[in-house]
Amino acid sequence: MIKISTGSLKAVIKSFFRKINSPYRLVVVNEETLNEALTLHLTKKSIYILFSGFLISIFLLFSALILLTPVKYYIPGYQSDISRKKLIGLQKLSDSLIQINQVRERYLLNLLTIANGQMNATLDTNGLSPAEIQMALTDNTRQIDKASNYEYLKNGKSDSLMGKTSVNKDTLHTNQQSGK
Q: What is the pLDDT of residue 179?
A: 45
| Mean pLDDT, rounded, of the chain | 78
How big is the CA angle at 174 (ends 102 and 139), to the nearest 5 degrees?
Answer: 45
Closest CA to 72 of 63, 84, 83, 60: 63
Task: Give the C-alpha separation, 23 to 16, whole Å.
Answer: 13
What b/e readout covers 35-44, taking b as 16+ CB neighbours within 10 angstroms?
eeeeeeeeeb
**122 pLDDT exceeds 80?**
no
Query: Over 60: is that where the pLDDT of 18 sits?
Result: yes
- Predicted confidence (pLDDT) at residue 49 exceeds the cutoff of 90: yes
Under the banding of pLDDT at 50, 70 and 90, the label for residue 2 is: low
Q: Is the pLDDT of residue 173 over 60?
A: no
The winner for highest mean pLDDT among 16-20, 56-60, 81-85 is 56-60
Q: What is the pTM of this model?
A: 0.39
DSSP letter string, the chain: -PPP-SS-HHHHHHHHHHHTT--EEEEEE-TTT--EEEEEEE-HHHHHHHHHHHHHHHHHHHHHHHHHSGGGGGSTT---HHHHHHHHHHHHHHHHHHHHHHHHHHHHHHHHHHHTT----PPP-S---HHHHHHHHHHHHHHHHHHHT-HHHHHTPBPTTT-SBPPPHHHHHHHHHHH-
pLDDT at 172 over 60: no
